[in-house]
């Protein structure tokens, strides 16, 4: 696979990364650890060089898993992780915190769990409204100077916050949701990133499975599946939103591709500095996703997909109210 560069001066990575969260939480029972270690190593064998984790995934379990799996190939891959949440004495997440002492403590824990002496890309997971972003960026700048962090990233940050952080410590990449199912970043975020030379890492590029065609109007989600709590996946909203899947399927059928491949190829065609991180736990799904890299969409194909996306007004918020409040605007 031809590598992509995250932003103007960022690292070179595979055109698709791998989101690892679902290996520890949010999408049903946690798979056996050894099975996931084998899967992560199989991803490297298939050319994936960019892996995304966070201390809050599990919590902590995901970093430990990724650290163990990738330790033998650490020099071949780029691992991104995140700080920004607070935890109680039992390890339960209690809110956001990007106070300098908490950032440093999070980095020390991530270094240990990832079995590395330097974090390739460190994201602020959510903007902390109680800590000036200049203080956060300044703390990361100190960690970069100390060699404990290589690059700074942000997640779900608004354009103004990105600019303020970037003025203190260059931001390599922004991670936020972006797909045919959710195109809000096109309004302010993508132009800001283009201006500043920052890469973009879309999470949920398949709409949490929505754009694979595997979710139907009859699909139900278990209590340990995050989609059971998301307004977009409530039955009435889901039925309305499936109109988009039907339209994307028309392109997929014509191209001899899967829905997911078309959705990922559309994202890759938007900008050369966009690197989506679809999450999966299955080798066959990983191989399907990687097939999107070689799927050529013509200008007519892209225009048809744009029209399809614009014609369907997505019903339901991205998150429940409490989680929605954590998104910086």
* pLDDT tens track for 173-222: 999 999 999 999 999 999 999 999 999 999 999 999 999 999 999 999 99
The rounded distance, in Å, linking the Cα atoms of 305 and 308 is: 5
Q: Tokens 């030379």, residue?
A: 197
- What secondary structure does DSSP assign to 127-138, as a single string? --TTS-HHHHHH
pLDDT at residue 325, as a whole number? 87
pLDDT at residue 152, as a whole number? 98
For 4-209+270-296, CATH number out of 3.30.1370.60, 3.20.20.100, 3.30.56.10, 1.20.1250.20 equals 3.20.20.100
Question: What's the number of CA atoms in the CB half-sphere (13 Å) around residue 66?
Answer: 34
Question: What's the number of CA atoms in the CB half-sphere (13 Å) around residue 16?
Answer: 32
Domain regions of the chain by residue span: 4-209+270-296
**Which is catalytic among the residues 57, 123, 178, 319?**
57
pLDDT at residue 291, as a whole number? 98
Task: Collapse the DSSP code of 99 into the 3-class scheme (helix H, G, I; strand E, B; otherwise coil) and give the result.
Answer: coil
The rounded distance, in Å, linking the Cα atoms of 140 and 134 is: 10
Residue ranges of the chain whose pLDDT lies below 50: none
pLDDT at residue 117, as a whole number? 97
* Nearest Cα to Cα of residue 131 among 101, 174, 171: 101
Q: Are strands 93-96 and 85-87 parallel, antiparallel or unpaired?
A: antiparallel
pLDDT at residue 211, as a whole number? 98
pLDDT at residue 277, as a whole number? 98
Which stretches does DSSP call E strand in the chain? Answer: 4-5, 12-13, 18-19, 50-52, 78-83, 85-87, 93-96, 121-124, 152-155, 171-177, 199-203
pLDDT at residue 31, as a whole number? 97
Active site residue 123: no
The rounded distance, in Å, linking the Cα atoms of 307 and 303 is: 6
């Amino acid at each position: 696979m031809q590598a992509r560069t995250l932003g103007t001066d960022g690292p070179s990575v595979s055109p698709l990364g791998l989101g690892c969260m679902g290996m520890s939480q949010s999408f049903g029972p946690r798979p056996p650890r050894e099975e996931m270690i084998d899967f992560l190593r199989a991803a490297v064998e298939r050319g994936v060089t960019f892996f995304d984790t966070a201390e809050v995934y599990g919590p902590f379990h995901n970093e430990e898993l990724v650290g163990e799996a990738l330790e033998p190939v650490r020099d071949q891959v780029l691992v991104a992780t995140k700080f920004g949440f607070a935890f109680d004495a039992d390890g339960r997440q209690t809110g956001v915190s990007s106070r300098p002492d908490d950032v440093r403590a999070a980095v020390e824990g991530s270094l240990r769990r990832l079995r590395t002496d330097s974090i390739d890309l460190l994201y602020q997971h959510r903007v902390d409204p109680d800590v000036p972003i200049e203080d956060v960026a300044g703390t990361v700048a100190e960690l970069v100077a100390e060699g404990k962090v290589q690059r700074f990233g942000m997640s779900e940050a608004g354009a103004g916050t990105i600019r303020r952080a970037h003025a203190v410590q260059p931001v390599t990449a922004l991670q936020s949701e972006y797909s045919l199912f959710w195109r809000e970043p096109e309004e302010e975020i993508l132009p800001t990133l283009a201006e500043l030379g920052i890469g973009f890492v879309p999470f949920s590029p398949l709409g949490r499975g929505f754009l694979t065609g595997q979710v139907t109007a009859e699909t139900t989600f278990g209590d340990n599946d995050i989609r059971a709590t998301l307004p977009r996946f409530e039955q009435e909203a889901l039925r309305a939103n499936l109109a988009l899947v039907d339209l994307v399927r028309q392109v997929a059928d014509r191209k001899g591709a899967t829905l997911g491949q078309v959705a990922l190829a559309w994202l890759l065609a938007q900008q050369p500095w966009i690197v989506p991180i679809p999450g999966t736990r299955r080798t066959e799904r990983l191989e399907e996703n990687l097939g999107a890299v070689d799927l050529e969409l013509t200008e007519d194909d892209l225009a048809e997909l744009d029209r399809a996306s614009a014609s369907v007004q997505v019903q339901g918020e991205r998150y429940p109210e409490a989680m929605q409040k954590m998104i910086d605007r």
